[in-house]
C-alpha cells in the first residue's frame, strides 16, 4: 500500500491519466473538500483531466504519510503546488485488492 500511495502521487504529479486509471478501482470515489463528489473511474479521471488542463505544473510534496494495512487506509498530509499556487491538503486514501477505492481530500489545515 505504501508503494501504491507513492505511485498515485507520482502519477498525479506527472499528470499521467493512464497510470491513474491503472491505480483506480472501477468504482473509485473522489470526494473533494466535501463540495464535489465523483463516482466511478471515468468520472474521477475526467475530474483529474480538467484539473490537469487548468494547471500545467503540478507537484505533490508529502509532509506525512501513515498507512494502516489492517484497515487498508492511508492518511496523507501533503502540499499540492498548482502552477504558482500552493494548497495544503489531507488525503485519506482507501484500498481494496491493490486498487484505490476512495480518496477523500480536505483542503487547508
**pLDDT for 21-34, tens place per residue?**
999 999 999 999 88
Q: Are 63 and 81 in contact (CB under 8 A)?
A: no
- The domains of the chain are located at 2-107
Domain 2-107 has CATH 3.10.450.50: yes
pLDDT greater than 70 at residue 109: no
Q: For residue 35, report the phi and psi dihedrals to the nearest 5 degrees.
A: -115, -45
pLDDT greater than 80 at residue 105: yes
**pLDDT for 53-101, tens place per residue?**
999 999 999 999 999 989 999 999 999 999 999 999 999 999 999 999 9
- Measure Cα distances from 45 to 6, 71, 93, 94 in Å: 18, 25, 16, 17
Please tell me the predicted confidence (pLDDT) of residue 14: 97
> What integer best gives the mean pLDDT of the chain?
95
Question: How far is 30 from 44, CA to CA, in rounded Å?
Answer: 6
Amino acid at each position: 500500500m505504501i508503494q501504491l500511495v507513492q505511485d498515485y502521487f507520482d502519477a498525479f504529479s506527472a499528470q499521467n491519466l493512464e497510470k491513474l486509471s491503472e491505480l483506480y478501482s472501477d468504482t473509485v470515489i473522489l470526494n473533494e473538500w466535501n463540495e464535489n463528489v465523483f463516482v466511478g473511474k471515468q468520472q474521477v479521471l475526467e475530474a483529474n483531466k480538467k484539473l490537469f488542463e487548468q494547471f500545467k505544473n503540478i507537484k505533490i510534496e508529502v509532509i506525512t504519510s501513515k498507512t494502516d494495512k489492517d484497515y487498508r487506509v492511508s492518511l496523507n498530509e501533503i502540499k499540492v503546488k498548482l502552477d504558482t499556487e500552493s494548497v495544503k491538503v489531507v488525503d485519506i486514501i482507501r484500498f481494496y485488492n491493490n486498487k484505490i477505492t476512495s480518496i477523500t481530500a480536505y483542503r487547508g489545515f
